[in-house]
Structure 1
Amino acid sequence: MKVEAFLVNSFTADGSGGNPAGVVFNADKLSDAEKLTIAKAVGFSETAFVSDDEEVDFSVSFFTTTEEVDFCGHATLAVFSTLFNQGVIAAGNYTQRTKAGLLGITIANDGQVTMEQTLPKYLGSFAYHEVAGLLGVDEAVLASTALPIDVITTGLPDIIVPVPRGYLDKIEVNNAALSDFCKQHEVIGVHAFELYNAHEKLTASCRNFAPLVGIPEESATGSASGALACYLTKHLYSEHINHFKFEQGRLMGCASHISACVRSDKQGVSQVLVGGYASGFGTQIIEI
């Protein structure tokens, strides 16, 4: 059997950069083993598989090159951008079923995709010394931010790590140690960030490391961007609606831009939205 995978860069910045994902339509009859085989052949951090659903618009599953994950932001963007660009759907509102839950999608007339993420769960914190060695950064450097290291999920649990401005590019991850640490604590990986000043166009630059699931580093991470937006809302911003713009992938030579919005009320965060643009760059035929 031959399967066609669309190759898509998600969270592009002015049409360039982004994080590549594979997208496979009509995946209803594919087994999990076949999906994993396809994801390995595509070779990107994630490949999304789109199936019909009896209750909502689409059912989407996500596979890295090593396993299935509950959700993937940049692959979700790739799915709905491709559906839109192929003329399968028009601009409007849609719902996808994922293992992280039913999540809303909005497509603007210009092709921008905004995805709803699950409401945040704050799963605990780590001390600076527990994380510093994993990233090759001195404990005192992390402590100088005076910000906590939190585990937050808006679809996948990530360790959110603030670093001082100028230190993000100096991170050197111990992949084996980080994988063991993440497995022990049941998290996906680390999302590190450095803040920009209030008058600058970007809120923060980020790097994401998830060697446990076969991703040493990736250039745009939608799920972790939602978690970071909730982290910033909790610790630094008090408005009921907070808008953020993140950069990721700069050091990898494929800078990406990710928009995020967090809405809050007296009960806490009421909505998490992450969005951006994507562009296809070809297809791949996989024989299974």
Structure 2
Amino acid sequence: MHIYTVDSFTDQFFKGNPAGVCLLDNAVPDAWMQSLAAEMRHSETSFLLSGATDDEPYSLRWFTPAVEVELCGHATLATAHVLYSTRSVPETLRFATKSGILSTNRDETGLISMDFPAKVLEEVSPPEGLVDALGVEPRWVGKNEWDYLVEVESEETVRTVSPDFRALEAVDARGIIVTAQASQPGADYVSRFFAPRVGIPEDPVTGSAHCALAPYWSDRLGPETLVGAQISQRGGLVRTTIRGDRVELAGRAVTVLSGKLHI
């Protein structure tokens, strides 16, 4: 079986978020996929299985080194990039996932857009331990079915936050998004994403977090289309567009490694 490492939400090698992409020849046990994801050690490895017929969507699943997740943006982008790069496929692809049917489209410039569900936040009081674990003063805290979002006063605060990961792991959520309006050119808002509870202390660029960031910042800043910069050490850009109860996430990707599994 073929396997790839792809850097997502970037057009530069060794930037963005690396994802594993495994093209399955046939169905395999969940434990096998989890073991391979742990071996790859990327924040997510995707597993793609073709549909029974050409008209059916691909089956797509995502695993961190520790658990399976319900939605992953950068690994979906990586998977679409691999299919567009290595196979004769249509410009629009469909994937059957635990978050329903997702689709991707590639334009003439190579930009890949993904149709994802919007994950709207509700304002909540910070849960016990969250503020102390982050060491920042929140301006606003919200939660959706997966994550907490913490808005802070400035981009510089986002850049310098240094969480206590052991304490953050005790917070009952998939992950914690820390965000602020951007001061850098070329972006409208910035963020970082911490998910030690699912085995990812800090994720470099998180597509699924932008399913919450997009409606949050579009509601505050106005435009339906914005650019989010995830300012991790590797860094990456995600263009977000609100489309009703869906979010279009768009970005680029580059293949770093390709090979075959010997198992």
Deviations 1:208-253 (A, max 9, x none): 100011100011000001210111233x1445xx111111144x1x
* Aligned pairs (5 A) from 1:1-288: 3-13=1-11, 17-26=15-24, 28-54=26-52, 56-90=56-90, 92-122=91-121, 125-127=124-126, 131-137=130-136, 141-142=137-138, 145=139, 148-152=140-144, 157-165=146-154, 166-182=156-172, 187-196=173-182, 200-234=185-219, 236-238=220-222, 242-250=224-232, 252=233, 254-263=234-243, 269-288=244-263
Q: Percent identity?
A: 26
Which amino acid counterpart does residue 47 of structure 2 have in structure 1?
Answer: F
Deviations 1:142-169 (A, max 9, x none): 2xx4xx211135xxx2211111112112
For 2:39 and 2:25, the matched residues in 1 are separated by 16
Deviations 1:41-97 (A, max 9, x none): 11100000001224632110000000111110000000001100113424x222111
Which amino acid counterpart does residue 98 of structure 1 have in structure 2?
Answer: T
CA contact (8 A) 2:12 2:254 kept: no
For 1:245 and 1:15, the matched residues in 2 are separated by 21
Quick check: 65-74 or 165-174, which moved more?
Answer: 165-174
CA RMSD of aligned residues (A): 2.2
Deviations 1:106-138 (A, max 9, x none): 11123221111113344552338753112022x
Q: 5+ unaligned residues in a row in structure 2: which ranges?
A: none
TM-score by length of 1: 0.83
Which amino acid counterpart does residue 41 of structure 1 have in structure 2?
Answer: E
How far 1:271 moved relative to its partner? 2.6
CA contact (8 A) 1:28 1:50 kept: no
CA contact (8 A) 2:129 2:167 kept: no
Q: 5+ unaligned residues in a row in structure 1: which ranges?
A: 264-268
Which amino acid counterpart does residue 46 of structure 1 have in structure 2?
Answer: E
For 2:109 and 2:245, the matched residues in 1 are separated by 27
For 1:114 and 1:162, the matched residues in 2 are separated by 26
Q: Secondary structure at the match of 1:169?
A: helix
Quick check: 188-197 or 205-214, which moved more?
Answer: 188-197
How far 1:28 moved relative to its partner? 3.2
Which amino acid counterpart does residue 161 of structure 2 have in structure 1?
Answer: I
CA contact (8 A) 1:11 1:276 kept: yes
CA contact (8 A) 2:6 2:254 kept: yes
For 2:194 and 2:169, the matched residues in 1 are separated by 10
Return closer, same or farther for 1:164/1:27 CA change in 2, 3 Å cut-off: farther
Matched positions, count: 260
Which amino acid counterpart does residue 258 of structure 1 have in structure 2?
Answer: V
TM-score by length of 2: 0.90
